[in-house]
C-alpha cells in the first residue's frame, strides 16, 4: 500500500493537503508537524481523510518534530484512537507502560509499532524485530539508514523472515543508498511505503514523491514483478528509470526499473543474483569493474573491455555493451567517420566503447585524459594516439567527444575544456545527457559547431537494452518523449 504523508505545519494547511491527495491508498497524518494541534483538530482531520488514515506523532530522536512530554505525545494518539483512526504508528522506544496501555485500549485501530535508526543499519537489527514481536502488534515497522547499498540486504532478509512467519512488516532503508528499497520492499512483501505529496515536503531522508512512486508503477508491483535497474554511483542524474518504466507500462510488462546507488559492486551482484532479476544497466564508475563479477560476456563487450548492460538468464549474468553502437549511431546522423580526426576526452568504460567503435569505422582517434596512463591503455588496445587533457591545444580535430562526467547534473556549469579550444566547424559530441544541453554544447553552439547531445546515445542504447531484456521492440518514441519532458521540467526548476 502507498501512504501519502501529510507534513503540513498547521491545521488549515493540513486540510488543504488532505484534500489534494490523489492516488494513494492511505494517508499518514504527521501530528508532530502540526503546531495548532487539539483533540478536536485530530478528530476533524481523521474525518476528512477519504482514505484510511495513520496517526503518527513522531518524537525527535526517531526523526519527528514532537518536543513535548511523552504523556502529551501519547495522549494525541489516544485521541486519534477515540476518533476511530484506522492505524496508529507508535515507537517501540516509548515507555513500555504507555505502549501497553495504548495496545490494550486500541479499540478497532490497528497498531504499528515502529523503530527508526537515523544513523545506521545495525547488523543485529533482527534482534530488535524479535523484541518488537513480543508486543504482538498488528504491524512491525523498521526503518534504518543505509550507509552502503549492502545495508538494504539486512532489511530485505528481515522482510523475508517476517513473511515466512506471517508477521506483517513494514521495512525499508532511508538515505540515498536506501532509496530503491522504498519500492523494492513492496515487491518483497513489506506492507506500506510512504511518499511525500510534493518535492520539499518529505518527512524522511530519501523519501520519494507520490508522482515519483507512480512513475515506478508502485501500485502494480507484486511478488512476480521482474526487477531491473541501473547500477552506478551517483545515479540521481539517470533517466533510464523514466524511459524503461514508461515502456513497461505501455507494453503491459510486469517489471520495474530501479536506480541502485552502489558502493560495493561485489556484494551487490552476489545478493541480487538470487533475486527475480531480468537485467541491469551499468554506469559510472562501474563499467569496467563489473566485468570481474559477471558469468559471461558477449564478443563485442569483451573486445571493448567494458559492460553497460547485463542480461540475467537462469541466475547467470551476461554482459553486453550498447554504448558503442549507441554512440556510433548518434555520430553517424551527422557525419561519416572514416579518416576523421577524432579527440576523445576521458579514459573510462564509455571511452573504451567509443574508441572501439571509432576503430571499426576507421577514424583517427586520440584519447586525452586527466590520468595519462589510462589514456595510454585504451590507445594500446584500439590503435589510437593518446595524451593529457592539456595536449588538446596542440591537436587539430574534426570531432571532439567528451566521455568524462564533467558538466553532468548536479554540476551543469562545469565544462571539461576551456571554450577557446573548441574549433569552429567541428562536431562536438558530449555523452553527458543530463542536462540535455551541457555547458560544453552551449559553448560549441556559440562557435557554430555541430552539436550532438548525449541523449541521442542514451536513447539508442536504451532501445538496444530493452530488446535484450524483453525480446520486444522498445516504444522508442514514448521513451524519448518521457525523458525529454522530464529534462525540460528539471530545467525549469533550476
In the list 215, 365, 403, 470, the residue contacting ligand ATR (rule: CB under 6 A) is 403
Beta carbon nearer to ligand ATR, 144 or 465: 465
In the list 350, 366, 426, 438, the residue contacting ligand ATR (rule: CB under 6 A) is 350
Handedness of CA 61, 62, 65, 67 (dihedral sign): negative
The Cα 140–Cα 133 span in angstroms is 7
> Do residues 285 and 250 make contact, with C-beta atoms less than 8 angstroms apart?
no
- Our finding on whether 349 is near ligand ATR (CB under 6 A) is yes
Among positions 25-64, residues that touch ligand ATR (CB under 6 A) are none
Beta carbon nearer to ligand ATR, 152 or 438: 438
In the list 94, 152, 321, 374, the residue contacting ligand ATR (rule: CB under 6 A) is 374
106, 141, 226, 287: the active-site residue: 287
- Our finding on whether 369 is near ligand ATR (CB under 6 A) is yes
At 432, list the grid cell.
553527458
The Cα 48–Cα 377 span in angstroms is 65
Q: Closest distance between ligand ATR and the C-beta of residue 406, in Å? A: 5
Say which residue the cell 562526467 belongs to.
Answer: 405
The Cα 322–Cα 301 span in angstroms is 8
List beta partners, residue 207: none
Q: Closest distance between ligand ATR and the C-beta of residue 301, in Å? A: 13
Beta carbon nearer to ligand ATR, 236 or 371: 371
Q: Closest distance between ligand ATR and the C-beta of residue 404, in Å? A: 3
> Do residues 175 and 145 make contact, with C-beta atoms less than 8 angstroms apart?
yes
> Do residues 259 and 180 make contact, with C-beta atoms less than 8 angstroms apart?
yes
- Our finding on whether 243 is near ligand ATR (CB under 6 A) is no
Beta carbon nearer to ligand ATR, 84 or 380: 380
Structural element, H or E, at residue 17: helix 11-20
Q: Is 300 a catalytic residue?
A: no
Among positions 259-318, residues that touch ligand ATR (CB under 6 A) are 283-285, 287-288
Q: Is 91 left (phi over 0), alpha (psi -120 to 50) or beta?
A: beta
The stretch among 25-33, 40-48, 349-357, 455-463 that binds ligand ATR (CB under 6 A) is 349-357
Say which residue the cell 495522549 belongs to.
Answer: 75
- Our finding on whether 376 is near ligand ATR (CB under 6 A) is no
- Our finding on whether 90 is near ligand ATR (CB under 6 A) is no
In the list 206, 405, 453, 461, the residue contacting ligand ATR (rule: CB under 6 A) is 405
Beta carbon nearer to ligand ATR, 159 or 431: 431
Q: Which residue is nearest to ligand ATR (CB)?
A: 348
Among positions 196-215, residues that touch ligand ATR (CB under 6 A) are none
Number of residues interacting with ligand ATR: please give it, by CB under 6 A. Answer: 20
Q: Closest distance between ligand ATR and the C-beta of residue 136, in Å? A: 50
Nearest Cα to Cα of residue 207 among 68, 7, 437: 7
Say which residue the cell 522504498 belongs to.
Answer: 182
- Our finding on whether 404 is near ligand ATR (CB under 6 A) is yes
Nearest Cα to Cα of residue 37 among 92, 80, 71, 5: 80
> Do residues 401 and 374 make contact, with C-beta atoms less than 8 angstroms apart?
no
State how beta strands 2-6 and 169-174 pair: unpaired
Q: Closest distance between ligand ATR and the C-beta of residue 107, in Å? A: 56
Distance of CA 113 to the CA centre of its chain: 28
> Do residues 56 and 31 make contact, with C-beta atoms less than 8 angstroms apart?
yes
Using a 10 angstrom Cβ sphere, with 0-12 exposed, 13-18 middle and 19 or more buried, the burial of residue 494 is exposed
Say which residue the cell 543508498 belongs to.
Answer: 177
Beta carbon nearer to ligand ATR, 56 or 438: 438
- Our finding on whether 348 is near ligand ATR (CB under 6 A) is yes
- Our finding on whether 406 is near ligand ATR (CB under 6 A) is yes
Q: Closest distance between ligand ATR and the C-beta of residue 488, in Å? A: 25
The Cα 11–Cα 234 span in angstroms is 39
- Our finding on whether 370 is near ligand ATR (CB under 6 A) is yes
Among positions 411-450, residues that touch ligand ATR (CB under 6 A) are 416
Beta carbon nearer to ligand ATR, 21 or 347: 347
At 244, list the grid cell.
524503461
> Do residues 243 and 214 make contact, with C-beta atoms less than 8 angstroms apart?
no
The stretch among 36-44, 117-125, 200-208, 397-405 that binds ligand ATR (CB under 6 A) is 397-405
- Our finding on whether 452 is near ligand ATR (CB under 6 A) is no
Beta carbon nearer to ligand ATR, 98 or 288: 288
Residues 124/127/128/132 CA torsion (nearest 10 deg): 160
Torsions phi, psi of 288, nearest 5?
-90, -45
- Residue 199 CB neighbours (<10 A): 11
Q: Closest distance between ligand ATR and the C-beta of residue 374, in Å? A: 4
- Our finding on whether 7 is near ligand ATR (CB under 6 A) is no
- As annotated, the active-site residues are 287
- Contact positions toward ligand ATR, by CB under 6 A? 283-285, 287-288, 346-351, 369-371, 374, 403-406, 416
Amino acid at each position: 500500500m502507498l501512504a501519502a504523508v501529510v507534513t503540513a505545519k498547521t491545521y488549515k494547511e493540513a486540510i488543504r493537503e488532505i484534500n489534494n491527495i490523489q492516488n494513494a491508498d492511505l494517508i499518514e497524518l504527521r501530528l508532530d508537524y502540526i503546531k495548532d494541534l487539539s483533540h478536536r483538530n485530530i478528530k476533524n482531520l481523521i474525518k476528512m481523510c477519504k482514505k484510511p488514515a495513520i496517526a503518527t506523532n513522531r518524537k525527535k530522536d526517531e526523526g519527528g518534530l514532537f518536543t513535548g512530554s511523552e504523556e502529551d505525545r501519547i495522549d494525541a494518539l489516544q485521541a486519534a484512537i477515540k476518533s476511530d483512526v484506522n492505524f496508529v504508528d507508535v515507537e517501540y522506544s516509548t515507555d513500555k507502560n504507555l505502549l501497553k496501555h495504548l495496545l490494550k485500549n486500541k479499540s478497532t485501530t490497528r497498531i504499528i509499532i515502529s523503530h527508526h535508526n537515523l544513523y545506521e543499519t545495525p547488523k543485529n537489527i533482527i534482534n530488535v524485530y524479535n523484541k518488537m514481536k513480543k508486543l504482538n502488534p498488528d504491524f512491525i515497522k523498521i526503518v534504518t539508514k543505509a550507509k552502503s547499498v549492502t545495508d538494504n540486504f539486512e532489511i530485505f532478509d528481515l522482510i523475508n523472515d517476517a513473511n515466512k512467519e506471517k508477521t506483517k512488516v513494514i521495512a525499508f532503508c532511508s538515505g540515498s543508498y536506501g532509496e530503491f528499497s522504498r519500492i523494492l520492499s513492496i515487491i518483497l512483501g513489506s506492507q506500506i511505503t510512504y511518499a511525500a505529496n510534493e518535492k520539499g515536503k518529505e518527512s524522511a531522508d530519501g523519501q520519494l514523491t507520490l508522482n515519483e512512486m507512480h512513475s515506478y508503477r508502485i501500485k502494480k508491483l507484486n511478488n512476480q514483478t521482474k526487477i531491473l535497474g541501473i547500477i552506478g554511483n551517483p545515479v540521481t542524474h539517470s533517466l533510464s528509470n523514466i524511459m524503461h518504466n514508461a515502456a513497461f507500462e505501455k507494453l503491459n510488462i510486469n517489471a520495474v526499473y530501479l536506480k541502485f546507488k552502489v558502493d560495493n559492486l561485489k556484494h551487490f551482484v552476489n545478493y541480487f543474483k538470487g533475486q527475480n532479476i531480468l537485467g541491469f544497466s551499468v554506469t559510472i564508475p562501474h563499467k569496467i569493474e563489473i566485468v570481474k563479477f559477471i558469468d559471461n560476456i558477449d564478443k563485442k563487450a569483451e573486445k571493448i573491455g567494458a559492460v553497460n548492460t547485463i542480461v540475467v538468464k537462469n541466475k547467470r549474468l551476461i554482459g553486453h555493451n550498447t554504448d558503442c553502437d549507441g554512440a556510433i549511431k548518434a555520430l553517424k546522423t551527422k557525419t561519416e567517420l572514416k579518416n576523421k580526426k577524432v579527440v576523445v576526452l576521458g579514459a573510462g568504460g564509455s571511452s573504451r566503447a567509443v574508441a572501439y567503435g571509432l576503430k571499426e569505422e576507421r577514424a583517427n582517434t586520440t584519447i586525452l585524459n586527466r590520468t595519462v596512463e589510462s589514456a595510454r591503455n585504451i590507445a594500446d588496445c584500439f590503435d589510437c594516439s593518446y595524451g593529457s587533457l592539456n595536449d588538446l591545444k596542440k591537436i587539430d580535430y574534426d570531432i571532439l567527444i567528451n566521455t568524462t562526467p564533467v558538466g553532468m547534473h548536479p554540476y551543469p556549469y562545469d565544462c571539461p575544456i576551456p571554450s577557446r579550444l573548441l574549433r569552429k566547424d567541428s562536431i562536438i559530441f558530449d555523452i553527458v545527457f543530463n542536462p540535455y544541453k551541457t555547458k560544453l554544447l552551449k559553448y560549441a553552439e556559440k562557435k557554430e559547431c555541430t552539436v550532438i547531445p548525449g541523449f541521442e546515445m542514451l536513447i539508442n542504447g536504451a532501445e538496444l537494452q530493452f530488446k535484450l531484456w524483453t525480446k520486444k521492440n522498445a516504444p522508442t518514441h514514448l521513451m524519448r518523449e518521457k525523458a525529454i519532458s522530464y529534462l525540460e521540467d528539471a530545467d525549469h526548476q533550476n
